[in-house]
Structure 1
Amino acid sequence: MGVTTQTGEKASYLAKERSITLPVTVINGKNDGPVLLLTAGIHGDEFPSMYALQQLQQSIDPKEMSGVLVVLHLANLDGFHGNRIALNPKDEKNLNREFPGSAQGTPTEQIAELLTREFISKTDFLVDMHSGSANQTLLNHVYSPFVGDEELDALTFEFAKATGMQHIVMYGDRPRDPNNSISYPNTAMTRGKPGLTTEIGHLAQSDEASIAEALKVATNTMYFLNMLPGKPVEHPEPVIYETIKYPSSTTTGFFRPSKATGDKVKKGQEVGKVVDYFGNHVETIQAPVDGTVMMVNQMPAIKNGQSVMAIGVEQSE
Structure 2
Amino acid sequence: MKANPISPTIPLDAEGVHHGHLRLPYSRDDSAWGSVMIPICIVRNGSGPTALLTGGNHGDEYEGPLALFDLARSLDARALSGTVIVVPAMNYPAFRVGTRTSPIDKNNMNRSFPGKSDGTVTQKIADYFHRELLPRADIVLDFHSGGKTLDFLPFCAGHLLPDKAQEAKVFAAVRAFGAPWSMQMTEIDAVGMYDTAAEEMGKVFVTTELGGGGTSRAETVRIARRGVDNLLKHAGILRGAPEILPTRWLEMPDGCFCFAEEDGMIETTVDLGEKVEAGSVVARIWPIGRTGSEPHEIKANISGILVARHFPGLVQSGDCASVVATMAD
**Residue identity (%):** 23
Q: Which runs of 5+ in 1 are unaligned?
A: none
SS at match of 2:98: coil
Residue 291 of structure 1, aligned match among 304, 316, 329? 304
State the shift of 1:174 in Å. 7.7
What residue is the counterpart of 2:175 in the other structure? 161
Q: Larger deviation: 74-83 or 3-12?
A: 3-12
Give the RMSD, CA atoms, in angstroms.
Answer: 2.0
The residue that corresponds to 2:3 in the other structure is none
Alpha-carbon distance between aligned partners in 2 of 1:209 and 1:101, rounded to the nearest angstrom: 34
Is this contact kept in 1: 2:81–2:239, CA < 8 A? Answer: no
- Which stretches in structure 2 are left out of the alignment for 5+ residues? 1-6, 27-35
In the superposition, relative to structure 1, how do residues 300 and 185 fare at CA in structure 2: closer, same or farther (>3 Å)? Answer: same
Structure 1 residue 144 and structure 2 residue 153: aligned?
no
CA distance in 1 between counterparts of 2:12 and 2:207 reads 27
Mapped partners of 2:247, 2:65: distance in 1? 28
Give the structure-1-normalised TM-score: 0.91
Which deviates further from its counterpart, 250-259 or 236-245?
A: 236-245
Is 1:66 matched up with 2:66?
no
- Contact map agreement 1:273 1:281 (CA 8 A) in 2: no
Shift of 1:242: 4.3
Q: Letter of the 2:220 partner, please give it.
A: S
How many residues end up aligned between the 2 structures?
310
Runs of 4+ in 1 over 4 A off after TM superposition: 5-8, 172-176
Q: Which residue among 1, 13, 17 is the counterpart of 1:10?
A: 17
Q: Give, in angstroms, the shift of residue 202 of structure 1.
A: 2.1
Aligned-pair distance for 1:205? 2.0
Closer, same or farther in 2 for the Cα pair 1:126/1:212, shift >3 Å? same
- Give 1:137's aligned amino acid: D
**Given the alignment of the two structures, is residue 24 of structure 1 paired with residue 46 of structure 2, yes or no?**
no
Q: Tell me the residue number matched to 1:197.
A: 207
Q: Is the 8 A contact 1:174 1:182 kept in 2?
A: no
Q: 1:137 to 1:223 in 2, by over 3 A?
A: same
Q: Take 2:13 and 2:162, find their aligned partners in 1: how far apart are those partners?
A: 37
Alignment-derived partner of residue 96 in structure 2: 81
- In the alignment, which residue of structure 1 is the partner of 2:194? 184
AA matched with 1:201? G
- Asked if the contact 2:146–2:209 (Cα under 8 Å) also holds between the matched residues in 1, the reply is yes
Cα distance in 2 for residues equivalent to 1:26 and 1:261: 37
Residues 178 and 230, structure 2, Cα contact 8 Å, conserved in 1: yes
User: Structure 1 residues 40 and 225, CA, compared in 2 at 3 Å: closer, same or farther?
Assistant: same
TM-score by length of 2: 0.88
Query: How far is 1:240 from its partner?
Result: 2.9
Report 1:1-317 matches (<5 A): 1-2=7-8, 3-4=10-11, 8-19=15-26, 20-29=36-45, 31-84=46-99, 86-171=100-185, 173=187, 181-243=191-253, 245-277=256-288, 278-279=290-291, 280-315=293-328, 317=329
Partner amino acid, structure 1, of 2:118:
Q
- Secondary structure of the residue aligned to 2:168 is helix
CA distance, structure 2, for counterparts of residue 163 and residue 10 of structure 1: 24
Per-residue CA deviation, residues 208-234 of structure 1 (Å, 9 max, x unaligned), is 332221110000011101112211234
Greater mean alpha carbon deviation, residues 39-48 or residues 247-256: 247-256
Displacement after TM superposition at 1:110 (Å): 1.8
Compared CA separation, residues 296 and 290, structure 1 to 2 (3 A): same
Pairwise CA distance, 1:151: 1.2
Q: Is the 8 A contact 2:184 2:249 kept in 1?
A: no
